[in-house]
Amino acid sequence: MKKNAFGIIDLLLGLLVLTAICMLSMRTFNSSIKLNGSSDIKSVQEQVDNTVNEIENMRLESIKLQQKIQSEEE
């Protein structure tokens, strides 16, 4: 009978330790994700907008250069 009680107590202590480890790791995981970081989303959107604008400008420059080359050939 003593062996069975010791096994149950051992199991409960193991579950308690496992729960504590899970709670600590979830706290660390949530703080590293920064769920409330809406400023990060805005900065990413701004960066994407800047990149798209640069690509558009380069495309327009390319079209102008092609038109200039074609006009010189004629």
Write out pLDDT tens, residues 3-21: 556 778 888 888 999 999 9
pLDDT tops 90 at residue 27 = no
How far apart are alpha carbons 8 and 13 in whole angstroms?
9
Q: Could you tell me the CA-to-CA distances from 10 to 5, 7, 24, 27, 62 in Å, in that order?
A: 8, 5, 21, 26, 73
pLDDT tops 60 at residue 41 = yes
The pLDDT value given to residue 24: 84
Looking at residues 35-43, what average pLDDT do you find? 61
How far apart are alpha carbons 56 and 7 in whole angstroms?
69
Read off the pTM: 0.44
